[in-house]
Structure 1
């Protein structure tokens, strides 16, 4: 019987985000490998959902101190006889590039566009990424075509080996057959949005559009919390908007069926898990026309320009008046998710990448 190959998965922590959710889902199903997990700090918001064969926490008080644990990570790699390392997110990747021996394959997942990233506006962040990549080239997995191309063009690097590996939705939780839109005349047009309250998600644009929607019965619930909560609460109250900040909830799959339209106005995304979840639940999508959204949803969604809130307001009015388009998006969006963005699709592609990398050893 052949001994299992060992993969070391390194990530900053397990706060609930897209990258972390994907890793947890993969670890539950990648039984043909021995999985070692390394985190830079101990945060774990998944509890017992996180599974592994061995776990190490580097307990970094500050990510800026990553050079102090390069030796520790090298020792873990030797002790666990690691065959391949897969890194996620910025600081884990930089650390891995300076720690993983040249004879061990290194795979890196890129989760977001760099061009619009606030962090990458700091010159030294870019330089450290470029320097670490040149020091130790790794196989790059982009969560979308746009994210992959943007990484190399923004950093002005020559690609070494690249693949697109789309994120996936947990269809065990988010999976509902579309049902016909049955809104009664005069009944509110119920919109929902999901995302942390931070500049990237651009919820202020939605609020500005709702100031222009006094002529139709429409409401918006925003799920998520964050740094802009108080600012948004004041704006909603001052303008008497039909918008509620719902905070974070643990039962989103039970709540989504109560809405008519899923709305996102992000400035940029890697590959939005919230959008995939909404599509899997049969929710029609109204999205900002950024490259990753159009790659995700293609013709199964409606899009609006971020140049003027009036454009969004007009799209909402149009969809309020055309339930047949809502129904069409509901059906085709869910079909697209089930055809391209399930865990099974993700695992199939990831296994091929791992097999290719390990075949050279």
Structure 2
């Protein structure tokens, strides 16, 4: 079969990481990649496939983009269209012939977390209105699957959890933190509002007396704002370090992984931290409660005082991971399990 994979861009992100990790494994199929943007940080992978850039805003140039995608589907003789974002989902329905199989992947939870926003309510109406005879909606977690079941109860909905791309047969080594020793915390994620980094500023003002440091790796338009605010508050133990690829070697330089996200649909960076053997401190959002180990420390999302309390508790009492929990999660969210599920979706 020939599969067209449709995504906003190939910048850094969970959906992009997922797509560029699974396509090379599906050697029994031919692949075509289509994006709205020419941003591409994965050329060593995508250069192996036919790639098209629609080069346009999906809202302002809707009909033009639909027309271009229709032509690509016909030219490449596509059997399955697989899209990965809100607007790629909608446009794929308008462009894909009704006899073709269409898969819309849901990597977002806006229909739960942002439904008070009138624009999101409008997007939900559009999603409900524009259909396709052979459409299957695919959720990246049980949490997102519940959202799909709520809003599209008569649709064909599936749950296919994301995976972490760990080397085959890699050994799990745990890195417990010993109480009272200098504590080094790491966070990985784009510098955007949903990552909840605002909670760190007042907390680290109060943590100045403790030997606790935190590095945040990621890029985004808000980075300069955070850096300036750190200078204004005289905070030196918290640093925004820019983009760096999340690897076991990087994560294992730290004692604790942290995510302050106020909204996630899965949490690939969290499972990467599990693969690196780090204890974790995370916000109590539904997606994290679903995939985190039982030994994880949770704090109330957007609650700086609770974050401070949990960090100081870890410093005073230590924290360690539980090997059996970590091994279970790494098996559950492994590439082979994901590929088996994806192949089943493609075939049925």
Same fold (TM over 0.5): yes
> What is the DSSP-based 3-state SS (H/G/I as helix, E as strand, rest coil) of the residue aligned with 1:246?
strand
Structure 2 equivalent of residue 30 of structure 1: 26
Structure 1 equivalent of residue 141 of structure 2: 144
Q: CA deviation at 1:220?
A: 0.8
Could you say if the C-alpha distance between residues 61 and 146 of structure 1 is closer, same or farther in structure 2, counting changes exceeding 3 Å?
closer
Residue deviations 1:82-128 (CA, integer Å, cap 9, x gap): 22111111121111101111111111110021122499651443333
Structure 2 equivalent of residue 125 of structure 1: 123
Distance 1:40 1:189 in 2: 42
Q: How does 1:1-361 map to 2 (within 5 A)?
A: 5-50=1-46, 52-60=48-56, 63-114=59-110, 115-117=112-114, 121-122=118-119, 123-133=121-131, 138-153=135-150, 156-172=151-167, 177-181=172-176, 183=178, 187-241=181-235, 242-250=237-245, 252-306=247-301, 308-323=303-318, 326-329=319-322, 331-332=323-324, 334-356=326-348
Distance 1:307 1:46 in 2: 33
Could you say if the C-alpha distance between residues 113 and 332 of structure 1 is closer, same or farther in structure 2, counting changes exceeding 3 Å?
farther
**More off after superposition, 264-273 vs 33-42:** 33-42
Given the two structures, how large is their TM-score scaled by the length of structure 1?
0.87
> What is the DSSP-based 3-state SS (H/G/I as helix, E as strand, rest coil) of the residue aligned with 1:28?
helix
Residue deviations 1:27-59 (CA, integer Å, cap 9, x gap): 111011121222223221111122554333222
Contact kept in structure 1, 2:58 and 2:87, CA below 8 Å: no
The CA RMSD measured in Å over matched residues stands at 2.5
Q: CA deviation at 1:302?
A: 1.3
Could you say if the C-alpha distance between residues 52 and 292 of structure 1 is closer, same or farther in structure 2, counting changes exceeding 3 Å?
same
Could you say if the C-alpha distance between residues 177 and 306 of structure 1 is closer, same or farther in structure 2, counting changes exceeding 3 Å?
same
Distance 1:308 1:182 in 2: 24
Q: Alignment length, in residue pairs?
A: 345
Structure 2 equivalent of residue 359 of structure 1: none
Distance 1:270 1:191 in 2: 23
For structure 2, the residue ranges without an aligned partner over 5 or more in a row are none
Distance 1:136 1:121 in 2: 28
Distance 1:189 1:265 in 2: 17
**More off after superposition, 74-83 vs 338-347:** 74-83
Q: CA deviation at 1:180?
A: 4.7
Contact kept in structure 1, 2:180 and 2:317, CA below 8 Å: no
Distance 1:203 1:196 in 2: 10
Could you say if the C-alpha distance between residues 107 and 37 of structure 1 is closer, same or farther in structure 2, counting changes exceeding 3 Å?
same
Distance 1:199 1:173 in 2: 35
**More off after superposition, 238-247 vs 45-54:** 45-54
Contact kept in structure 2, 1:16 and 1:45, CA below 8 Å: yes
> What is the DSSP-based 3-state SS (H/G/I as helix, E as strand, rest coil) of the residue aligned with 1:347?
helix
Could you say if the C-alpha distance between residues 27 and 273 of structure 1 is closer, same or farther in structure 2, counting changes exceeding 3 Å?
same
> What is the DSSP-based 3-state SS (H/G/I as helix, E as strand, rest coil) of the residue aligned with 2:312?
helix
Given the two structures, how large is their TM-score scaled by the length of structure 2?
0.90
For structure 1, the residue ranges without an aligned partner over 5 or more in a row are 357-361
Contact kept in structure 2, 1:181 and 1:327, CA below 8 Å: yes
